[in-house]
């Protein structure tokens, strides 16, 4: 047993990040000890996979790159420069999009996917630092509505345990389509973003609840148009998640102490949830996804007329926040920007942010969370 044991320990502990022959460094998203993928100084990425028997391998990272096999059975490719931030990617082998065995995996694209995080010049705000740290807690609970056990990830701020009488405001923070409750604490680095903002005094210490944005009620009929069960997550959030969180954590339960935000699908869900429950939320955030507005339509018609009286709405809501990356697909960019312009036209006070140079990806959403979290729960 000793030999096996020693070998395995060794394999796990041998390699730290180091400059290799390529002049690059192993990505932070690699399995510990894996030297590839490597990020070069100009943000090109070198991928390397051992597969002596493969006929054809590709890397799919924004675009598809053919890998080339050397005589020792390793396939390699160097990409074009890749934008900063976190990107999902796939290895394509035998026509199947699969995970690169050298990468950690992340729930995205409706499956476990490989990911690579390209350092950003302005990445300081999501790095772990020598400041007090919160905790991300996994909470299991039974949902009557879905008749299933569910899991929420809950960030508690630094000091939560040390101040057992203190109560905190709560942000409900949702992932995008094809992702789940692990997205924000893993890909989004929300814990480090909050820890750093709180340490700098830029954000109010808060609890952040991250749930799985999919829920079906087995008693309700499937859609007659597409045969699918309706997603009742917005209703679940209000009827079950909020009461469970208010029972399990020391929350402030007034509406001025409750916010919601989400990215892409989570942004739509945020507007869907909050605009129909204005008595429960005082802050709304949509990152690359906000209210749904058909071209030429009027925001005053949306959500049963919740936005019809701009003055009343502006008095009631403490923050409406809408953001988009400037390099997002045109349809998404136009949709969110159009919603912002329609809010302007209707006199709805809001903050609109364009993240420079970022795609429909986590770098847009990390930046948005950094802004949004610094704007909410200010007395």
Binding to its own copies in span 278-297, by CB under 8 A:
289, 292
Task: Pick one of 95, 201, 221, 295: the residue that binds its own copies (CB under 8 A).
Answer: 95
- Of 64 and 315, CB closest to its own copies: 64
Residue 45 CA to residue 82 CA, distance in Å, equals 7
Name residues whose C-beta falls within 8 Å of residue 123's C-beta, 6 or more positions apart in sequence. 84
Q: Is 55 in the site for its own copies (CB under 8 A)?
A: yes
Residue 213 in contact with residue 233, Cβ under 8 Å?
yes
Residue 289 in contact with residue 265, Cβ under 8 Å?
yes
Q: Is 19 in the site for its own copies (CB under 8 A)?
A: no
- Of 222 and 312, CB closest to its own copies: 222
The H-assigned helical ranges of the chain are: 2-13, 183-186, 190-199, 233-236, 242-248, 265-274, 310-316, 330-346, 362-375
Query: Which of 259, 166, 265 minimizes the C-alpha distance to 215?
Result: 265
Task: Pick one of 110, 243, 305, 357: the residue that binds its own copies (CB under 8 A).
Answer: 110
Please give the structure tokens belonging to residue 253. Answer: 């339960």
Q: Is 18 in the site for its own copies (CB under 8 A)?
A: no
Binding to its own copies in span 202-231, by CB under 8 A:
214-216, 218, 226-231
Binding to its own copies in span 242-261, by CB under 8 A:
248-250
Q: Is 178 in the site for its own copies (CB under 8 A)?
A: yes
Return the range that interacts with its own copies (CB under 8 A); candidates 3-11, 39-47, 61-69, 365-373.
Answer: 3-11
Name residues whose C-beta falls within 8 Å of residue 58's C-beta, 6 or more positions apart in sequence. 64, 65, 66, 67, 91, 92
- Of 54 and 238, CB closest to its own copies: 54
Task: Pick one of 32, 159, 305, 357: the residue that binds its own copies (CB under 8 A).
Answer: 32
Binding to its own copies in span 185-204, by CB under 8 A:
185, 191-192
Residue 22 CA to residue 40 CA, distance in Å, equals 7
Q: Is 111 in the site for its own copies (CB under 8 A)?
A: yes
Please tell me the count of residues contacting its own copies according to CB under 8 A.
80
Binding to its own copies in span 348-367, by CB under 8 A:
none
Residue 194 CA to residue 127 CA, distance in Å, equals 11
């Amino acid at each position: 047993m000793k030999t096996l044991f020693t070998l395995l320990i060794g394999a796990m502990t041998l390699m730290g990040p180091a400059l290799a022959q390529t002049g690059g460094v192993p990505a932070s998203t690699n399995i510990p000890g894996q030297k590839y993928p490597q990020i070069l100084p100009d943000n090109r990425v070198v991928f390397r996979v051992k597969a002596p028997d493969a006929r054809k391998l590709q890397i799919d990272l924004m675009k598809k790159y053919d890998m080339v096999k050397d005589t020792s059975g390793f396939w390699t490719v160097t990409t074009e420069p890749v934008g900063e931030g976190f990107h999902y990617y796939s290895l394509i082998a035998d026509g199947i999009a699969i995970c690169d065995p050298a990468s950690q995996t992340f729930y995205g694209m409706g499956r476990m996917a490989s990911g690579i995080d390209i350092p950003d010049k302005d990445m300081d705000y999501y790095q772990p630092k020598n400041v007090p740290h919160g905790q991300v807690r996994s909470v299991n609970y039974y949902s009557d509505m879905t008749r299933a056990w569910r899991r929420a990830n809950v960030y508690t701020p630094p000091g939560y345990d040390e101040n057992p009488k203190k109560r905190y405001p709560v942000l409900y923070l949702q992932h995008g389509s094809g992702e789940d409750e692990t997205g924000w604490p893993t890909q989004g680095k929300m814990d480090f973003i909050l820890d750093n903002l709180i340490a700098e005094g830029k954000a109010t210490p808060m609890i952040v609840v991250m749930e799985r944005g999919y829920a079906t009620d087995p008693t309700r009929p499937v859609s007659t148009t597409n045969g699918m069960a309706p997603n009742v997550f917005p209703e679940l959030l209000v009827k079950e998640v909020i009461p469970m969180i208010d029972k399990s954590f020391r929350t402030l339960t007034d509406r001025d102490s409750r916010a919601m935000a989400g990215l892409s699908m989570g942004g739509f869900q945020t507007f869907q949830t909050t605009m129909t429950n204005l008595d429960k939320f005082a802050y709304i955030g949509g990152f690359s996804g906000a209210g749904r507005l058909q071209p030429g339509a009027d925001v005053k018609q949306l959500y049963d007329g919740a936005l019809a009286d701009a003055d009343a709405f502006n008095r009631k809501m403490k923050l409406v926040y809408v953001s988009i990356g400037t390099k997002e697909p045109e349809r998404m960019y136009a949709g969110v920007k159009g919603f912002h312009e329609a809010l302007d036209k209707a006199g709805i006070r809001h903050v609109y942010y364009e993240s420079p140079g970022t795609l429909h990806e986590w770098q847009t959403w990390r930046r948005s969370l950094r802004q949004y979290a610094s704007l909410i729960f200010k007395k």
